[in-house]
């Protein structure tokens, strides 16, 4: 799973488009895409569509409302208990391990009504200050968690920020070069999401869960989206949301090794095999040492590229 497309649950006109896109997973959103007075109707629309639309084998999730709202629990029970075609849920604003365990136990109960080989998948968002403060505890204590998404929009609000742009770069979060009185002092931009993103990625890798980066909001800014994809990958993220189908291909490409990565991996593999035949544990390639640790990178590249 590299890409996840968010589709408002009350906009059936978009369902077919998502289902035939190149995305790996899509989720019908009952949370922030739907106004409060439409929540119940949207749940019904989502349910009807889960059973009726041809999803073309795509992983199909529903983002339910948060568990502290009047809708969240019913979203889980009414959809999870009724539609075997549904693969699972994305649960927003998880704030504690207790809350996560409550969701997990609800899914355990719903699974009793489902085919054994299709347990409901659980994906969550960490997007509040309290959720981030407890992320290691949450991820370590989880029993059936598959992925954690960082939700930058809600996280910024949780920190009391009200900047217009959701992008992490800001002309205010800078450090100045030089000293008082110097000329040409420059402002170096920092990434205001770095701490949250790195912490979530680390927690996920420590406890065997997939870290997912949330959406890049300005879908007309392709350069910005591309940089956002690569920044997430560089921090260890393995997938990213798209809020528009136009962003899917860029995400899919970013979260797969490039052709050059694969060529390099095959050369390393070959060089190490030769070293092994010659009775040595390491070798040189392009003037660099390669050994067992390099082979782990190679195995990962070839696995992701579907070459092993």
Interaction between residue 29 and Mg ion (CB under 5 A):
no
User: Shortest Cβ distance from residue 93 to ligand GLV (Å)?
Assistant: 8
> Looking at 80-88, 119-127, 221-229, 267-275, which segment touches Mg ion (CB under 5 A)?
119-127
Residue 214 binding target from Mg ion, ligand GLV, none, CB below 5 to 8 Å by type: ligand GLV
β-sheet bridge partners, residue 149: 125, 212
Is position 151 an interface residue for ligand GLV (rule: CB under 6 A)?
yes
Binding window for Mg ion (CB under 5 A); candidates: 3-11, 130-138, 150-158, 185-193:
150-158
Residue 20 main-chain phi, psi, to 5 deg: -100, 5
Q: Where are the beta strands (DSSP E) in the chain?
A: 3-8, 25-29, 59-63, 88-91, 121-126, 145-150, 169-176, 187-191, 210-213, 239-242, 283-285, 288-290
Strand ranges, E, within 18-115: 25-29, 59-63, 88-91
Q: Closest CB to Mg ion among 55 and 216?
A: 216
Answer for which of 10, 154, 262, 298 binds ligand GLV (CB under 6 A) is 154
Can residue 213 be called a binding residue for ligand GLV (CB under 6 A)?
no
131 counts as binding Mg ion under rule CB under 5 A: no
H helices present in 81-221, as ranges = 97-111, 129-133, 135-141, 152-158, 194-207
Residue 115: partners with Cβ closer than 8 Å, 6 or more residues away: 84
Q: Which of 75, 127 has the CB closer to Mg ion?
A: 127
Find the shortest distance in angstroms from Cβ 214 to ligand GLV: 4
Q: Specify the long-range contacts of residues 106-111, CB closer than 8 Å, at least 24 apart.
A: 106/73, 106/76, 106/77, 106/80, 107/76, 107/80, 107/144, 108/144, 110/76, 110/77, 110/80, 110/81
> In angstroms, rounded to a whole number, what is the distance separating the alpha carbons of residues 297 and 265?
8
Q: Are strands 145-150 and 121-126 parallel, antiparallel or unpaired?
A: parallel
Please give the residues from 165 up to 204 whose contact with Mg ion meets the rule CB under 5 A.
none
> Residues 103 to 132: which contact ligand GLV by CB under 6 A?
125, 127
Instruction: Determine if 5 is a binding residue for ligand GLV (CB under 6 A).
Output: no
Phi, psi dihedral angles at 133 (to 5 degrees): -60, -25
Pick 153 or 178: Cβ nearer Mg ion: 153
Binding-site size for ligand GLV (CB under 6 A) equals 7
Answer positive or negative: Cα dihedral of 72, 237, 96, 112: positive
Residue 245 contacts ligand GLV per CB under 6 A: no
The only residue of 80, 131, 151, 257 in contact with Mg ion, by rule CB under 5 A: 151
Return the number of the residue (197 or 268) whose C-beta is nearest ligand GLV.
197
The reply to whether 154 sits near Mg ion by the rule CB under 5 A is yes
Nearer to ligand GLV, 94 or 272 (CB): 94
Q: How many CB atoms lie within 10 A of CB 81?
A: 17
Shortest reach from residue 71's CB to Mg ion, in Å: 15
* Residues near ligand GLV (CB under 6 A): 125, 127, 151-154, 214
* Residues near Mg ion (CB under 5 A): 127, 151, 154
């Amino acid at each position: 799973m590299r890409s996840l497309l968010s589709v408002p649950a009350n906009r059936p006109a978009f369902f077919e488009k998502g289902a035939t896109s190149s995305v790996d997973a899509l989720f019908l959103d009952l949370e922030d895409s739907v106004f409060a007075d439409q929540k119940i109707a949207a749940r019904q629309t989502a349910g009807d569509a889960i059973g009726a639309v041809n999803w073309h084998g795509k992983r199909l999730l529903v983002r339910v409302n948060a568990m502290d709202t009047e809708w969240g629990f019913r979203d889980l029970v009414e959809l999870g208990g009724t539609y075997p075609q549904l693969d699972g849920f994305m649960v927003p604003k998880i704030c504690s391990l207790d809350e996560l365990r409550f969701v997990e136990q609800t899914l355990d109960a719903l699974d009793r009504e489902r085919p054994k080989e299709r347990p409901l998948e659980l994906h969550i968002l960490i997007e509040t200050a309290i959720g981030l403060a407890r992320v290691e505890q949450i991820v370590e204590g989880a029993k059936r968690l598959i992925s954690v998404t960082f939700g930058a929009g809600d996280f910024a609000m949780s920190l009391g920020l009200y900047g217009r742009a959701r992008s992490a770069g800001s002309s205010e979060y800078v450090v100045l070069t030089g000293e008082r009185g110097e000329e040409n002092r420059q402002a170096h931009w920092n990434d205001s999401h770095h701490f949250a993103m790195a912490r979530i990625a680390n927690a996920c890798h420590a406890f065997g869960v997939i870290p997912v980066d949330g959406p890049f909001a300005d879908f007309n800014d392709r350069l910005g989206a591309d940089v956002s994809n690569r920044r997430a990958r560089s921090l260890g993220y393995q997938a990213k949301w798209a809020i528009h189908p136009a962003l899917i291909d860029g995400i899919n490409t970013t979260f797969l090794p490039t052709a050059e990565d694969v060529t390099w991996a095959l050369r390393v593999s070959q060089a190490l095999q030769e070293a092994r035949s010659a009775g040595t544990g390491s070798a040189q390639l392009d003037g660099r040492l390669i050994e067992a640790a390099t082979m782990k990178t190679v195995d990962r590249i070839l696995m992701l590229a579907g070459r092993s």
